[in-house]
Amino acid sequence: MKNNPSQTNPSIIPLPKKINFQAGHFVLKESSEICCLSSGSQQMEDLLRGYLKPATGFELPTTTDSNAAIILEVEGEVEMDNNGFADESYELQISNTQIRIKAVCDWGLARGIQTFRQLFPSEIYSDQKQDIEWKLPCVSIADKPAMKWRGILLDVARHFFSVDEVCRFIELAAQHKLNILHLHLTDDQGWRLEIKKYPKLTDLGSRRKATLIGHHKNDKPRRYDDQEYGGFYTQEDIKSIVDFAYQRRMVVVPEIDMPGHSTAAIHAYPSLGNNPNHQLETKCHWGISNHTLNVEDETILFMKNVMDEVIEMFPGQYIHIGGDEAPKYEWTNSRRAQDRMVELNLKSEEELQSWFIQQIGDHILKRGKKYIGWDEILEGGLADGATVMSWTSEEGAVHAVKEGHNAILTPMQNLYFDFYQENPEKEALAFGSLITTEDVYNYPLFPEGLSKEEQKRILGTQCALWTEYIPTMERLEERTYPRSCAFSEVAWSFPTERDYDSFCSRLDMHIKRLRQQQVHFYNSY
């Protein structure tokens, strides 16, 4: 048996609210048993056992004996607040003889389990049995998140990621106590979600003829790789992804982007477009498309029907309906759209967009769910019940919360991980700009000038992995880590004093955990 380096500073990321190390240690043994003090936490027992088994080889049998080595305890049933969030606080106590993770409900237990894993030697993250002593420091931790919404966006439209890849992405996010996976499922370059009522969306819309080589802004004339590209999730696939996330108490928020970013849908069903006689192709290059959905009743009904299937597939509270980057060029030049504006007594194309979003939004509200749109949905007036996801800057969020709406902060200047992270000259092609791990760590989060009440309407924050220039899982991980580690600490711990050096010293240890899992993190920070 190898000698274990003692773990006086296990470098937990994100940092818990209160942590107090004591003398002594606990050693996990083959004979250690798990006792669940509430039947509701059975799934958490399975999760924990599944996490510890590969590296330790231990079965960790179940017992009802409350003197067992590991105690999992929840106080009661899950209760969601008005905004759909469960209590995620937990306490973790390790003495020489016992480990106790206690929470209000199993959402907190799930977070406590992630902290518990980090207290082990980093080899616990290996999928191979390791011959070492599983020693943990005695400690007392009381922890809860600063932000309710701690999201990460994955764009599976520009490049497709398999169910296994998405699950690995979820698992890594869960380790950082993120609780939302925002899946951007449709865009000009591909429709990736099976909709049974409209099979052509995936039969035709999930494929594009080729993919751009180089950057969409620099390289003219455009060059393409001439390889057909495609992929989509069946409704069964989505169930596996949603279940995998839920086992870790993470929610998947689907995004169906409209009325812009819809070329793949219009390719599949030309009657959705503003020029039905003109056959559009799913886009093979990046950038903002001029094409949008039309504003006919049939199109609204089509998207409502899509929403009905989406709502069935994704049990979470929130559905994202896009609303970003919808140029008004086609509506301005379409007789039908102009007539529609007169008919509906709307003064501008921006108001027409708000009307469109409201039709779909109301439908979602009627089904008992909440809806989110990008900050452009503010442009023609914001409908009741909409949550704004602010990306162009923080302004959209400020505007929304001042009007009494909820908002989520995902400003591209701070949280777009498709941007370069250290040295654009040396890195693989990225969307542009530069956001270092240190920039992320210092992201202040709350915009200035908000009252306490307004701050409460900021549900939280989200980082984004847009994938125009992220064709593989390796590249995806390299852009996500370690920036996501810094993000998780901002969102979960929200340290008022940001000490980047101290974060980096913990990150050194944390990186070993990622290495055990063969994460392709960016190797310099």
Nearer to ligand TNX, 419 or 521 (CB): 419
Contacting residue, 466, 494, 503, 521, with ligand TNX by CB under 6 A = 466
Contacting residue, 418, 454, 478, 489, with ligand TNX by CB under 6 A = 418
Nearer to ligand TNX, 100 or 182 (CB): 182
> Binding marks (x or -) toward ligand TNX, 425..444, rule CB under 6 A?
------x-------------
Is residue 45 at the binding interface for ligand TNX, with CB under 6 A as the rule?
Answer: no
Is residue 416 at the binding interface for ligand TNX, with CB under 6 A as the rule?
Answer: yes
Nearer to ligand TNX, 92 or 435 (CB): 435
Hey, is 516 helix, strand or coil?
helix
Is residue 269 at the binding interface for ligand TNX, with CB under 6 A as the rule?
Answer: no
Is residue 188 at the binding interface for ligand TNX, with CB under 6 A as the rule?
Answer: no
Nearest to 92 by CA among 179, 21, 173, 30: 21
CB of 217 to ligand TNX, least distance (A): 11
Q: Using CA atoms, how far apart are residues 319 and 329, in angstroms rounded to an integer?
A: 27
Q: Using CA atoms, how far apart are residues 204 and 207, in angstroms rounded to an integer?
A: 6
Treating both helix axes as pointing N-terminal to C-terminal, what angle do 235-247 and 297-313 enclose, rounded to 10 degrees? 50
- 8 Å CB contact between 97 and 78: no
CB of 316 to ligand TNX, least distance (A): 20
Nearer to ligand TNX, 177 or 182 (CB): 182
Q: Using CA atoms, how far apart are residues 449 and 452, in angstroms rounded to an integer?
A: 10
Tell the residue number behind the tokens 């969307």, with chain if given: 431
Is residue 374 at the binding interface for ligand TNX, with CB under 6 A as the rule?
Answer: yes
CB of 254 to ligand TNX, least distance (A): 15
Burial (Cβ within 10 Å: 0-12, 13-18, ≥19) of residue 522: middle
Burial 391-403 (b: 16+ CB within 10 A, else e): beebebbbbbbee
Nearer to ligand TNX, 16 or 396 (CB): 396
Nearer to ligand TNX, 108 or 254 (CB): 254
Tell the residue number behind the tokens 């180089």, with chain if given: 214
Quick count: other Cβ atoms within 10 Å of Cβ 493? Answer: 20
Nearer to ligand TNX, 331 or 431 (CB): 431
Q: What is the CA radius of gyration of the chain?
A: 24
CB of 374 to ligand TNX, least distance (A): 4
Contacting residue, 85, 391, 494, 525, with ligand TNX by CB under 6 A = 391
317-356 positions binding ligand TNX, by CB under 6 A: 324-325
Nearest to 41 by CA among 140, 114, 141, 110: 110
CB of 355 to ligand TNX, least distance (A): 20
- 8 Å CB contact between 51 and 171: no
Tell the residue number behind the tokens 């501008």, with chain if given: 348
Which residues of this protein are in contact with ligand TNX, per CB under 6 A? 324-325, 374, 391, 416, 418, 431, 466, 468
